[in-house]
Chain A
Amino acid sequence: METLNFESDAKTPGIDFNASTGILKLWGRSIPENSMEFYKPVFAWLDNYLNSPNAKTEMIFQLEYFNTSSSKCILDIFRKIESLNASGKSNVTVKWLYEEDDEDMMEAGDDYQTIVKLEIQIEQV
């Protein structure tokens, strides 16, 4: 399965999803006007990955800030990882990293923690 690679820029996050290592990383900002459009290939890649995942999956978020339409797409990524975890096909860990003093991003990690059935490691970097 091919890796999914997007460079980060002023409005969209960097993405490095690698099926052969099981490390899926998303970082930067997510403020596109049309988030659904941006995240479509991300969801498609994840759907494929869920069919034949690595024995270990490490999902890492390290976001600066995101708009509310992205917040729903990020939740959808969590939902997919949640179902991967529930399937038992992969040993899943999820990290939500935030920069020093960034209470908003720390709280955003807490928001997702209350919604999904996954243990999210919320850590300052």
Chain B
Amino acid sequence: MKSDLLKSFQEHEQGRLIYPDGGNQISYCGPITQEFIDTVVLLIESKFKNEWKDSKKNKKLMAVMIELLQNIYHHSKKMTGLFEDMQLDSALCIIEKLEDDIFKLYTGNFMESSKISDFRSRITEVNELKDDQLKDYYRKKLAHSELSDKGGAGLGIIEIARKASKKIEFEFENITDNFAFLTLGVTV
């Protein structure tokens, strides 16, 4: 896992998307809004077109990123206010091109402590499954799922695991008794 995403979160300029020309990284720290997700979709498309060349991973990266960001978008509404200068509804998002056809996505966001154990066990569960098992698990879940009011169908994390080329990396850092900073790393 990238070292200390919480520190990057604290140091990153709020609300600004950073994407140097010719660079292999796009980063953002701030509230995840629908407008931000729209902007980042267009930005990544133009990065692929102009700098990163068309890659088989283009759509995969996009699909995983959207899943991660929409997840945060739906959850971060509950995290409001400030804690020691940290905006709790903000999230950090980093997209990095490691080599041709290998990309890494990181997200960091605050989460209520009460949600951690459930979240941890869901990621651990999908990380233990092999490709075929993930496929079956996804199909079973899809066939029997109902959409929640948040729009997700509990399928997001399975879909991310299916598209990822490595296990999903995750870390929780407790900030107070009530909430923690969750970091996820996904390689596609």
Contact = CB atoms under 8 A, between A and B. Distances in A.
Interface string B153-171: 1011001000100000000
B41 A11 contact: yes
Contacts of B139: 111, 114-115
B42 interface: yes
Contacts of A75: 142-143
B41 A10 contact: yes
Interface string B63-80: 100110010011000000
Contacts of B147: 35-36, 69, 72-73
Contacts of B152: 68-69
Interface centre among A33, A34, A64, A111 (most CB of B within 10 A): A33
Contacts of B62: 65
A67 B64 CA distance: 9
A63 to B, nearest CB: 10
A102 interface: yes
Report the contact-size class of chain B (Cβ under 8 Å from the partner). 20 to 34
B34 A71 contact: no
A68 B74 CA distance: 13
A104 B67 CA distance: 15
Interface string A1-38: 00000000011000000000000000000010111100
Contact of B142 (A33, A36, A67, A72): A72
A65 B59 contact: yes
A33 B151 contact: yes
A66 to B, nearest CB: 8
Contacts of A36: 147, 151
Contacts of A67: 63, 66-67, 70
Interface string B9-45: 0000000000000000000000000100110011000
B179 interface: no
B156 A33 contact: no
Interface of A: 10-11, 31, 33-36, 64-69, 71-73, 75, 101-102, 104-105, 107, 111, 114-115
9 contacts: A11-B41, A33-B37, A36-B147, A64-B59, A65-B59, A67-B66, A68-B67, A69-B147, A104-B163
